[in-house]
Amino acid sequence: MKPLGRLFMRFKTCKDGVLYYEIDVEIKGEKKKLLVPRYHAFLGWIEIFGLPPQNEWCVLKQLKPFEREGTLKIDGEELKERVIFNPDFERKMHSIITVRKGSGDYEYFQWFEDFSRAPGKIEEAGIFTHSNGVYRYFCRKEGSESGREDELAPERFLRREKLPISVEEKIREISEDKGRPDSMWLKNFEAKGALPRIYYKMFPTEVLDLNLENSAGKVIELGYLNKSGGEIDRVHGEWYKFFTFEKDDRAFFIREGEWSSAEAEIDGRKERIKNTYGKRLFLLE
């Protein structure tokens, strides 16, 4: 494997009920320093170095609808951010709107998820309307989670998916070392349009020389969750993610871990929250 990048986040402070995390991002020597707001300990978008599906949200428990504002900082530049979270748990759907503004740029991101047939099938869409144009992605994913151990075998993907040899070898290596994962996902995505300027201020993905303005591909994810600790600990753990693109022979690999939790005061209550989390980006060879 060839190391390409690193991302490390750490809890900084809580202000007006909003959690703030310092995030250091580096891709092939290009660095970014971020201060990112999180509006609930069990809700956040997934930082994957700017690879598709961009700004995918992860909802880790049933939450009530809310609208909140925070401040996003990118290399010292301050931007306003507003998030509107509107779930429909009866019909098993999510809608999240993210609005970012600053320095003459704006970004309006709409994210929709239909998980009514989860984990066998989940559909999501993300649309950025921004100062540079429009960008959208669609993602269809299927998975298996604890309680369906008969399907929690990475070999299932190896039998039915056409994957690069480097990906197959790495999946076998991980499964032989770690055993069957607690969660396993296959995502098929399509993405097209003008790249959102604010989002890509956070991730210097251009140094990877990928055509993200018109791309399609697959993501395979193997998750090994923590078996001890509080509720927030047990929904996190170690993740191994593989990215392949239809029009690119390269295979990218993200290893997630370096997890720790901490106690913080939020709206006058002590809560256990994410404290640190780290991700490393590699090129599989």
167: helix, strand or coil: helix
Instruction: Quote the CA–CA distance of 284 and 255 in Å, as a whole number.
Output: 12
DSSP letter for 109, please.
E
- Is the preceding peptide bond at 53 cis, omega within 30 degrees of 0? yes
Give yes or no for a contact between 22 and 74, defined as CB atoms under 8 angstroms apart.
Answer: no
Predicted pLDDT at 213: 97
Question: Which pLDDT score is estimated for 242?
Answer: 97
pLDDT at 117 (0 to 100): 93
Which segments in the chain show pLDDT lower than 50? none
Distance in angstroms (rounded) separating the CA atoms of residues 267 and 157:
44
First-to-last alpha carbon distance for the chain, in angstroms, is 6
179 exposed, middle or buried (CB, 10 Å; 0-12, 13-18, 19+)? Answer: exposed
Q: What is the pLDDT of residue 163?
A: 87
CA torsion, points 261, 265, 266, 272, in degrees to nearest 10? 20
Residue 162's pLDDT is: 84
In angstroms, rounded to a whole number, what is the distance separating the alpha carbons of residues 133 and 12?
33
Residue with the two structure tokens 């300027």: 197
Q: How far is CA 22 from CA 72, 76, 109, 150, 183, in A?
A: 10, 12, 22, 40, 28
pLDDT at 153: 63
The phi, psi pair for 231, rounded to 5°, reads -60, -40
Q: What pLDDT score was predicted for residue 192?
A: 97
pLDDT tens column, 211-227: 999 999 999 999 999 99
Q: Which two tokens stand for residue 114?
A: 């239909």
Give kind and range of the element (H or E) at residue 160. helix 155-160
Closest among 26, 82, 24, 36 to 207, alpha carbons compared: 26
Reference 232, options 183, 182, 275, 274; nearest CA is: 274
Return the biggest CA–CA distance within the chain: 52
Are 60 and 67 in contact, with CB atoms under 8 Å apart? no
Give the Cα-Cα-Cα angle 177, 167, 183 (nearest 5 degrees): 55
Residue pLDDT, tens place only, 149-173: 555 566 766 777 788 999 999 999 9
